[in-house]
Amino acid sequence: MPMIETINLTKKYGELIALNNLNMSIDQGACYGFIGPNGAGKTTTIKILATLLKPTWGEARIDGKVIGYQNPQIRPLIGYVPDFMGAYEDMVVAEYLEFFAACYDIHGTAREQVVRDVLDLTDLHFKANSEVNGLSRGMKQRLSIARVLLHDPKVLLLDEPASGLDPRARIEVRELLKELRRMGKTIMISSHILHELAELCDTVGIIEQGVLIFSGTVVEVMARANVGRIVHIVVEERTEDAVKLLEAVAGIMSVEVVHDDGVPRINLTIDPNSGLPIAELPNRLIAQGFRLSSIHQEKVNLETAFMRLTKGLVS
């Protein structure tokens, strides 16, 4: 049974359709990257799963329990981290966590222990007596994650957790999420920093204009986008002749010329199913008298696939 599941999940605001028959399934222990343009429906989906919004129709389930009908049973199972943390800023970090632990009916020595544990896990123990108001954006984000771990939820719903963070803070949050994944948490994370999602997530969903256009593994999304191997070649002269030669090679899907500071560069896209070896390209060019200045293969990533599968549409 999936840990998170939606069935024809739809949310309308008047005539605006924010979610349109969303069908999604996330297995227990998976880390699911939820990506799409701003306004595509990511936050709406996560808020419904967090029991903060009611769907217009359709159904969403957490661990087999139906959102809207079994919310009291669902809420202890989830931890929701919004993209912006609202905090009681006159508290110090330890007091803030103790307050929320009390809200989860954790008392006495058990509360003291769980606060210490989450401070250690999120590497905030040295900030235990610091005012929340004085924390950096990255520290506040880690504190927000610490807060939702107090009751040891099965599911973490994270809405743009790296938004607004500097590079060091993003790395720290990413490493924390990797540790939570190793602990067996089911994680759903929306983000626009796609290269980090590719490192962190085993499955991804791409949503656009309220419609889930793809859901599967990172390898499957690459195949769905038909992302070929991209090769950049610079020849010393006779660029147009080199283009004609390369266009005739079986397995090359497209050839275009771009200029970098006045230097023409040939960009090739090779059919991933062609089996054409990259090493054959310089051999063919050299055999016809061309002199190569450079040749290298571009690393294809999740961002490339995302751009090919989406049109930038919003609800």
In whole angstroms, give the CA distance from residue 43 to residue 47: 6
29 token code pair:
């222990």
The reported pLDDT for the residue numbered 313 is: 47
Return the axis-axis angle of helices 239-247 and 280-287, rounded to nearest 10°.
Answer: 120
DSSP H helical ranges for 159-292? 167-182, 194-200, 218-224, 239-247, 280-287
The reported pLDDT for the residue numbered 223 is: 67
Distances (CA, A) of 271 to 52, 105, 242: 45, 58, 19
Return the axis-axis angle of helices 93-103 and 108-121, rounded to nearest 10°.
Answer: 130
The reported pLDDT for the residue numbered 228 is: 66
Domain 4-219 has CATH 3.40.50.300: yes
- With contact defined as beta carbons under 8 Å apart, do 5 and 25 qualify? yes
- pLDDT < 50 positions in the chain: 313-315
The residue assigned the tokens 């200029």 is 259
The residue assigned the tokens 């009751």 is 151
The reported pLDDT for the residue numbered 99 is: 93
**Contacts of residue 60, Cβ cutoff 8 Å, sequence gap at least 6:** 4, 5, 6, 7, 9, 48, 49, 66, 67, 68
Tell which residue, 70, 58, 80, has the closest CA to residue 6: 58
Residues forming CATH 3.30.70.100 domain(s) in the chain: 229-299
For residues 288-301, b (16+ Cβ closer than 10 Å) or e, as one string? Answer: eebeeeebeeeebe
The reported pLDDT for the residue numbered 196 is: 67
Residues forming CATH 3.40.50.300 domain(s) in the chain: 4-219
Q: Is 14 exposed, middle or buried (0-12, 13-18, 19+ CB in 10 A)?
A: exposed
pTM of the model: 0.77
SS3 166: coil
In CATH, what is the architecture of 229-299?
2-Layer Sandwich (3.30)
